[in-house]
Amino acid sequence: MEFLTSLFTGPIGAIFTGVFGSLISNVFNYFKEKQLHKQKLELLVQARADREIDHRFALEEADKNMQIRKAEIEGAIDLKEAEGFIKSQEGINTLLLKASIMERMLDNKGKMRWATIPIGLLIALLFGMVDFVKHMMRPGLTLFLIIMFANVLRKALAILENANYVWAPDQAVEIVMIAVNASTLLTVTAVSWWFCDRQISKFVMRKMGANVR
């Protein structure tokens, strides 16, 4: 017993307790460093996840901004096209023969009155003809197309009535149907085009302040 006591209380015991304490301290430090490393790793993983979330949100935000910008650009283009269309309609509805110009030419009371009145009448005649042709172009073209395809239908029927050639029933029906369908399609297209154009012209005139129905 005394030997064991002297062993632990003597130099050997001091060495043993020192080694044991060092071992315990190193084990404790190992687990402490491992815990710190685990915490750092978790923080890095969380930081990476946060960056990915921020990146995804940034991409979504950029995509939304691009869509908004695209819609704004498309809206601006549509608006410019509408404005250009209205301007073109205004140009169609604008008369070349201005009343103010004619009044200025016809109200001349000077020595050149004998020349300005005939020139004014000639200009009025020419501008009036241009305005008439411009405003009658669509209805005139519509009427021309209707008459032309009515004539095509008449000639198709005349060919079918020709006794020099015997048409099979299916051939005769096919020719008549082609002529009828073409005439119907073109007539409806021309009439609806003219009707819609009149409605658009009225809309533009209302935008310009005219009282039309």
Per-residue pLDDT of the chain (213 residues; tens, 9 = 90+): 555 555 555 556 556 666 666 677 767 777 777 788 888 888 888 888 888 887 787 788 878 878 877 777 777 666 666 566 556 555 555 655 666 666 666 666 666 666 666 776 777 777 777 777 777 777 777 777 778 777 777 777 777 676 566 667 777 777 777 777 777 777 777 777 767 666 665 555 555 555 555
Q: Report pLDDT for 21.
A: 63
| Contacting residues for 92 by C-beta, under 8 A, at least 6 apart | 134, 201
Q: Report pLDDT for 94.
A: 60
For helices 2-9 and 11-93, give the axis angle rounded to 10 degrees: 50
- Most distant CA atoms of the chain, gap in Å: 156
Q: Report pLDDT for 188.
A: 76
Q: Report pLDDT for 71.
A: 76
Distance CA 16, CA 9 (A): 10
**CA-closest candidate to residue 92, choices 211, 197, 206:** 197
3-state secondary structure of 1: coil
pLDDT digits (tens, 9 = 90+) for 100-123: 666 666 666 666 666 666 776 777
pLDDT digits (tens, 9 = 90+) for 61-102: 878 878 877 777 777 666 666 566 556 555 555 655 666 666
Distance CA 213, CA 211 (A): 7
